[in-house]
């Protein structure tokens, strides 16, 4: 059985497996598109304290990006032209997410030695808090951070790191539906989805996942969805962090 995160499960046709749609069924009855509920798996991972650097990584992967481009310029001082490199660091959140902004400010002040300024910018119909930094040093910091730390080997060294990473990711791209009592994480980033999938497994959180295609601007965009719908599992998440209501 090939899963949406790329993993392959090998089992006998009579092996029983939990699904969202039909509950506990045998493997031979599975069809393409069925949603499997991840089992609780016990792993030997050190506890460790929460490391909020990995919370910052989770937030930046969801809400930010870095960009570098080389260009050729001609000016008064260099009539023959010169090569120039543009380095840009972006981070954008909604205007009403003031508590989220305060948390990001705290993390940036703690881990980044350069002062970062926010600006209110319009994006589509709405205004957002936006970081648009062109300093090479800021770009280099996030480039090294993502390349060196955004991998399962680093994230899963301790439970504290996993909790911090999931906190950053779920507060950024997760939603809590109080009426349905579900936590839903959605992303178009397959690599991020695979890491969140594995981290939830490692922490023993029951969930199910599926792919979804939505028509947007006449194009079909693929999203990877993880849904947690058991009260006991949601209670575990609330021990790590809390959602703000808007």
pLDDT in tens, 9-36: 777 777 777 676 666 778 888 888 777 6
- DSSP tag of 193: H
Element (H, E) at 52: helix 52-63
Q: What is the mean pLDDT of each run of 10 residues along the chain (246 residues)?
A: 69 72 76 66 51 94 89 65 81 89 93 92 83 93 94 92 92 82 89 93 87 71 87 80 56
- Residue 57 near residue 149, CB atoms below 8 Å: yes
How far is the C-alpha of 71 from the C-alpha of 154, rounded, in Å?
A: 35
Q: Which residues contact 103 (CB under 8 A, 6 or more apart)?
A: 171
- Residue 121 near residue 94, CB atoms below 8 Å: no
pLDDT of residue 40: 39
Pair of tokens at residue 64: 């930010």
Q: Residue 146: how many CB atoms within 10 A of its CB? A: 16
pLDDT of residue 165: 94
């Amino acid at each position: 059985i090939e899963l949406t995160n790329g993993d392959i499960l090998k089992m006998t046709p009579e092996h029983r497996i939990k699904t969202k749609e039909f509950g506990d069924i045998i493997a031979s009855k599975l069809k393409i598109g069925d949603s499997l509920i991840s089992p609780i798996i016990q792993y030997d991972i050190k506890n460790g304290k929460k490391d909020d650097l990995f919370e910052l990584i989770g937030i930046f992967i969801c809400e930010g990006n870095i960009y570098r481009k080389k260009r050729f310029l001609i000016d008064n001082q260099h009539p023959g032209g010169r090569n120039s490199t543009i380095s840009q660091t972006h981070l954008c959140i909604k205007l009403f997410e003031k508590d989220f902004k305060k948390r990001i400010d705290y993390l940036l002040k703690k881990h980044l030695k350069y002062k970062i300024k926010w600006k209110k910018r319009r994006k589509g119909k709405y205004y957002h808090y936006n970081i648009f930094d062109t300093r090479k040093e800021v770009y280099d910091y996030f480039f090294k951070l993502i390349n060196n730390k955004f991998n399962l080997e680093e994230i899963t060294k301790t439970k504290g790191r996993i909790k911090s990473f999931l906190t950053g990711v779920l507060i950024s791209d997760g939603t809590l539906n109080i009426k349905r009592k579900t936590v839903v994480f959605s992303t178009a980033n397959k690599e991020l989805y695979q890491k969140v999938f594995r981290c939830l497994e490692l922490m023993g959180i029951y969930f199910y996942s599926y792919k979804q295609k939505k028509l947007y601007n006449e194009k079909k965009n693929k999203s990877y969805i993880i849904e947690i719908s058991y009260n006991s599992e949601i209670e575990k998440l609330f021990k790590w962090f809390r959602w703000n209501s808007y």
